[in-house]
Amino acid sequence: MLISQILDDAETIRVVARNGGKTRIINGARSVYSLAMEAARTGTGLEALIERKGYGETVDLDAIYKKGRLVSPINHPDPAHLHLTGTGLTHLGSAATRDSMHKKLNTDGEEQLTDSMKMFRMGLEGGKPAKGQMGVQPEWFYKGNGTMAVAPGAALMSPAFAQDAGEEPEIAGIYVIGDDGAPFRVGFTLSNEFSDHVTERVNYLFLAHSKLRNASFGPEILIGDLPSDIKGSSRILRDGKLLWEKPFLSGEANMSHTIANLEHHHFKYSAFRQPGDVHVHMFGTATLSFADGIRTQAGDVFEIEAGDFGLPLRNPLEIEKPVKVAVKAL
């Protein structure tokens, strides 16, 4: 089952679902967030709860998308309680690009093993522990709260000071935290973990700066288990024409970590188990247009798709105007 959120003519959020057929409005569902919290509080599976509520009218989701009436497939009434985070170096092909960005020489001119490659090897050796055991922790990063989340179809805004504005096609897990602090997974969705790869390349310690950017996810959330072998496509359109395209792989068959291990190392922190919060946690990628020498510009459109996840995730790129910030003493 795939679920998403749309705006009706009265600007009211409606939750819609499809399960191999038509897209229909879910009766009485005010938001995906309220549905997820109800499921957590009642101990009911999300799909079973949706079926129990029943369905209303049929909608044309693709037409709604084209009209700009799709919103992010989950949000929080208070954006400060939605957290955008992620992990890196989690995919079997992810080390090559990062390693080339961070290569360094010793005093004799020989290449040293980069921190990226060390982290990648750690994942290969300990990222898939036996069930019930703890594996090695991955690289982790923070992107911001719900104010940084961009709806499908809306523009990803790159700061004027950014050195690069590059896509990262990823799968994200969507979670809510129950009243007792227990994390619940709503499902999985496509995401564009938008980053500044030039800034990151300057020094690995700039990774934190490079990740403080918008992110987009959706349009639809896949309820249930993550497919083990995901084959998708990432592309960039410029002036309506294809500029760059490349396949991307995800799912545990193509990863050096299990999803359970990545989830454990995120939610082991009590700060991420605050009742009522929403988490969008991105699981990494091995495919970047930046690695192929692509320099994006305002007006380019990013498009990420994978068959199991419904409609593609599309976002145009815009550049913010420069802002001068002055701090005043109180």
Q: Label residue 228 by pLDDT band (50, 70, 90).
A: very high
Task: Please give the pLDDT value at position 115.
Answer: 80
Taking alpha carbons only, the member of 87, 284, 73 closest to residue 186 is: 73
Spatial neighbors of 43 by CB under 8 A, at least 6 apart, are none
Token representation of residue 274 = 């605050």
Task: Please give the pLDDT value at position 93.
Answer: 74
- Has residue 264 got a pLDDT over 90? yes
- Has residue 98 got a pLDDT over 60? no
Residue 323 region, left (φ>0) first, then alpha (ψ -120 to 50), else beta? beta
| Mean pLDDT computed over 187-215 | 95
Rounded Cα distance between 272 and 49, Å, is 26
Helix 94-102, helix 115-126: angle, nearest 10:
160
Taking alpha carbons only, the member of 230, 163, 153 closest to residue 192 is: 153
Q: Is 145 exposed, middle or buried (0-12, 13-18, 19+ CB in 10 A)?
A: middle
User: Mean pLDDT lowest for which of 60-74, 168-182, 199-213?
Assistant: 199-213
Task: Please give the pLDDT value at position 108.
Answer: 55
Place of tokens 């024409």: 241
| Mean pLDDT computed over 88-95 | 80
CB neighbourhood size of 207 (10 A): 20
Rounded Cα distance between 204 and 46, Å, is 40
* Cβ proximity of 187 and 222 under 8 Å: yes
| Mean pLDDT computed over 23-42 | 97
Task: Please give the pLDDT value at position 105.
Answer: 46
273-320, pLDDT tens digit by residue?
A: 999 999 999 999 999 999 999 999 999 999 999 999 999 999 999 999
User: Mean pLDDT lowest for which of 121-125, 154-158, 247-251, 294-298?
Assistant: 121-125
- Has residue 79 got a pLDDT over 50? yes
Percent over 70 (pLDDT), the chain: 94
Q: Label residue 95 by pLDDT band (50, 70, 90).
A: low
| Mean pLDDT computed over 68-81 | 98
Rounded Cα distance between 281 and 1, Å, is 20
Reported in sequence order, the residue ranges of 10-152 that DSSP labels E, i.e. its strands, are 13-18, 23-26, 55-59, 70-71, 82-88, 139-145, 149-150
Task: Please give the pLDDT value at position 94.
Answer: 67
Residue 94 phi/psi, 5° resolution? -80, -15
Task: Please give the pLDDT value at position 119.
Answer: 84
Task: Please give the pLDDT value at position 20.
Answer: 84
